[in-house]
Amino acid sequence: MTAQLNPRGDVAVLVPAAGAGVRLGPGAPKALRLLGGEPLLVHAVRRIAAAPSVHTVVVAAPAADVEAVRAMLAPVAPVTVVPGGAERQASVAAALAAVPAGPDIVLVHDAARALTPPELVESVAAAVRAGHDAVIPVLPVVDTVKEVDAGERVLGTVDRAALRAVQTPQGFRRSVLTAAHEAAGDALTDDAGLVEKLGVPVDCVPGSELALKITRPFDLALAEHLLASGA
Ligand code: CTP
Ligand code: MG
């Protein structure tokens, strides 16, 4: 059954899904790889569409797969699919350009974080709604972190207590994300980084271990296990 989005919702979710998945090894673009028999992108969109505030979902798909992705997602939720770009930032910009008038809150969420629970979408959106211009979900860093030089000699130990690992969805007041992308120069891996460059404060909310990014084969194996145990 197709999940209906909320016409009274105030949130648009952009889903960059146009990456190749090089680190996952040879095969289809990552968003189309299977997890429990379904593409990662289907898992991601199903969970986004289950978040009650979501008004619009725009997916940036690999350019060659736009029609296939439209057909694949039609039974999952009513989504807009646009061709992505060569870099993640270009894919996000393409999706942002396709958001209709209406939603004041824009979330950017990696298709690769396929098991992200709807509750995390809601908590990031709620923090933006409460007045924060930019919100990122974070987890504490568990490993000790060292800074090294080009020869792998340790320069020092970074204070772990002050570090956070950043996930998606990252949430923004729409005008702030639009301004950040207009001002963007060099490519960054996260949208909050663009907003920081504008001098806009970025605030953290607790992330979720289920929002892990499926990057390497180990992550896919872990996600298979989590899915099989009910995630
Ligand atoms: N992404 C995108 N457009 C790109 C590159 C990445 O939309 N040109 C998306 C990916 O599809 C993914 C998210 O950005 O959902 C995070 O990127 P990453 O995990 O690095 O995925 P890939 O770029 O596909 O993987 P790799 O870097 O291993 O090739
Ligand atoms: Mg990448």
Q: Which ligand 1 atom lies nearest to the CA of residue 86?
A: 8
- Kindly give the distance from the C-alpha atom of residue 21 to the centroid of ligand 2, in angstroms, as a whole number: 7
Report DSSP letters for the chain, one per residue: -PPPP-TT--EEEEEE-----GGG-SSS-GGGSEETTEEHHHHHHHHHHTSTTEEEEEEEE-GGGHHHHHHHHTTT---EEEE--SSHHHHHHHHHHTPPS--SEEEE--TT-TT--HHHHHHHHHHHHTT-SEEEEEEE--S-EEEE-TTS-EEEEE-GGG-EEE-S-EEEEHHHHHHHHHH--S--S-HHHHHHHTT---EEEE--GGG----SHHHHHHHHHHHHTT-
- Kindly give the distance from the C-alpha atom of residue 133 to the centroid of ligand 2, in angstroms, as a whole number: 26
Q: Which of 33, 47, 88, 108 to mutate to test the pocket of ligand 1 (most atoms within 8 A of CB)?
A: 88
pLDDT at 202: 97
Q: For each of the chain's 231 residues, which pLDDT tens digit applies?
A: 688 899 999 999 999 999 999 999 999 999 999 999 999 999 999 999 999 999 999 999 999 999 999 999 999 999 999 999 999 999 999 999 999 999 999 999 999 999 999 999 999 999 999 999 999 999 999 999 999 999 999 999 999 999 999 999 999 999 999 999 988 876 666 799 899 988 999 999 999 999 999 999 999 999 999 999 999
pTM greater than the 0.95 cutoff? yes
pLDDT at 188: 62
- Where do the domains of the chain lie, and which CATH numbers do they carry? 11-225 (3.90.550.10)
pLDDT at 186: 65
